[in-house]
Amino acid sequence: MKKYSVSDIILKIVAHIWLILGSIVVLVPLLWMVSAAFTPGKLLSGVPLIPDFSNLSLEHYTYIFSYKSNPASLLADYPGAFVRTLQIAVLNTIGVVFFAVITGFAFARLRFKGKKQMLLTMMILQMFPSFMGMIALFLLFRTFGFLNKPNYLALIYTAGSIPYNTFLVRGFMRNIPKSLDEAAAIDGASPLQILRLILFPLIVPIVGFLAVGAFMGPWLDYILQSVFLQPEQMTVAVWLYRTTDPLLTLVYNPLNFMAGALLIAIPIMVVQFFMQKYMVYGLTSGAEKG
């Protein structure tokens, strides 16, 4: 064994002090959130700094699962909001997978005029601040009668993700040797068969990454959902936002928020940790978490 010098030992201690302090900063707000979710009442000041296990309360969860809204309430019931968000999320996942595969394939493997310009245009257009586009989308939705129907929001999410996902899938597909396609083409496979039978199994990792992202996205998008949906059709994100809005005194209860937030944060965190490997791929291609 190598012997540590004095400076090594000092550095080791410094490194660990840093890490311990860092962990405290990282974890304490989250532990506080968990603690708050199980604290009775509606006051933040009532949340103990050191979790008080003798005084745990499921009050907020009882509220979340038993509260029944009526058309005039400021808050819809949480299970309803949950189901609506789930629908958007599932539809969005299907849409994103379809478009990512088909468009990524076209841009990676097919030859056509204006390919580069098209991709670049899509990516640049996407940089335009989306709030302004929302006014146009609002009108479009009103014209088609899509307003206040949560499922149609998946269209907007799917469309919005096309440019970046295309870019990512295209990059991934280009690393797959073209000789595979060519061999299949000689055997008489059509381009769509090549995509389905040869390329698709190979791009499952990146598509999985995008699918998970597409599934999680709608749970936490507040603005679009709050503008396009009436309160009785509200989603989880809107529900959460409203419970911490001090202006809505009737429903304001930060502890309800903590409890509701915990419910969706935990599954998402678990998925994030499982998907770490793919996320790192997304990161190295310059991806950014939204």
Partner 1 sequence: MKKKKFGQRWNELLKDIKDNPDALKSAVMSFFVMGLGQFRNKQKAKGFTFLGFGAVAFLTELFTGGYFYIFSDLAQYPADPGGQIYFIRDYGGIFSKGLWGLATLGKVVRGALYRGQAVETFNKIIPWLSADNSVTLLGTGLIALVLTSIVLSVWIYNIRDAYVSRKLILKHGTIETGKEYVKRLWSDMFPYLVLIPTLIMVLFFTLIPFMFSFLLAFTNYTYRIPVPSRLIEWVGFKNFAMIAGDPGWFSVFSQILSWTFFYAIMASATCYIMGLIQAVIIESKYVKVKKFWRTIMIVPWAVPAMISLMVFRNVFENTGLANQLLLKTGLMPAVSNFLFQIGLQGRPDTVISWLTVNYNGNLAKAVVILVNLWLGAPYFMMLITGVLTTLPKDLYEAAAIDGASKWQAFRNITLPLILRATLPAIIMTFTYNFNNFGAIYFLTGGGPAYNLEQIPLSMQVMGGIPGQTDILISWIYKLSFSNNAQLFNIAAVYSILIFIFIGSISVVNLARSKGIWEEE
Within positions 26 to 45, which residues make up the interface with partner 1, using CB under 8 A? Answer: 26-30, 32-33, 36, 43-45
191 near 236, Cβ under 8 Å?
Answer: no
Residue 77 or 166 having the CB closest to partner 1 = 166
Query: In this structure, what are the phi and psi dihedrals at residue 120, rounded to the nearest 5 degrees?
Result: -65, -40
Q: Give me the DSSP letters along 69-130.
A: --TT-SS--HHHHHHHHHHHHHHHHHHHHHHHHHHHHHHHH---TTHHHHHHHHHHHTTS-H
Residue 65 or 131 having the CB closest to partner 1 = 131
> Which residue from 70, 71, 129, 186 is in contact with partner 1, where contact means CB under 8 A?
129
Q: Select from 204, 224, 79 the least CA-distant residue to 155.
A: 224
d(CA 269, CA 33): 14
Could you say whether residue 175 binds partner 1 (CB under 8 A)? no
Q: Find the shortest distance in angstroms from Cβ 139 to partner 1.
A: 5
Could you say whether residue 127 binds partner 1 (CB under 8 A)? yes
> In b/e form, how buried is each residue of 28-55, taking b as 16+ CB within 10 angstroms?
eeeebbebbbbbeeeeeeebeeeeeeee
> Which residue from 76, 88, 162, 212 is in contact with partner 1, where contact means CB under 8 A?
162
- In the stretch 74-93, what mask flags binding to partner 1 with x, by CB under 8 A? --------------------
Q: Give the contacts of 140 (CB within 8 A, at least 6 positions apart).
A: 146
Residue 75 or 264 having the CB closest to partner 1 = 264
Could you say whether residue 230 binds partner 1 (CB under 8 A)? no
Could you say whether residue 61 binds partner 1 (CB under 8 A)? no
d(CA 40, CA 113): 64
Could you say whether residue 132 binds partner 1 (CB under 8 A)? yes
Of 9-28, binders to partner 1 (CB under 8 A) are 11-12, 15-16, 18-19, 22-23, 25-28
Q: Select from 33, 6, 30, 44 the least CA-distant residue to 246.
A: 44
Of 235-264, binders to partner 1 (CB under 8 A) are 237, 240-241, 244, 254, 257-258, 261, 264
> Which residue from 97, 184, 227, 248 is in contact with partner 1, where contact means CB under 8 A?
227
> Which residue from 163, 210, 224, 259 is in contact with partner 1, where contact means CB under 8 A?
163
Q: Write the Ramachandran bin of 160: left for phi over 0, alpha for psi from -120 to 50, otherwise beta.
A: alpha
Residue 53 or 112 having the CB closest to partner 1 = 112
Could you say whether residue 134 binds partner 1 (CB under 8 A)? yes
Could you say whether residue 197 binds partner 1 (CB under 8 A)? no
Question: Given CA atoms 241, 238, 27, 41 in this order, what sign does their dihedral have?
Answer: positive
> Which residue from 140, 147, 185, 189 is in contact with partner 1, where contact means CB under 8 A?
140
Residue 70 or 136 having the CB closest to partner 1 = 136
Residue 201 or 286 having the CB closest to partner 1 = 286
Q: Hey, what amino acid is at 163?
A: P
Q: Find the shortest distance in angstroms from Cβ 76 to partner 1.
A: 18
d(CA 68, CA 75): 9
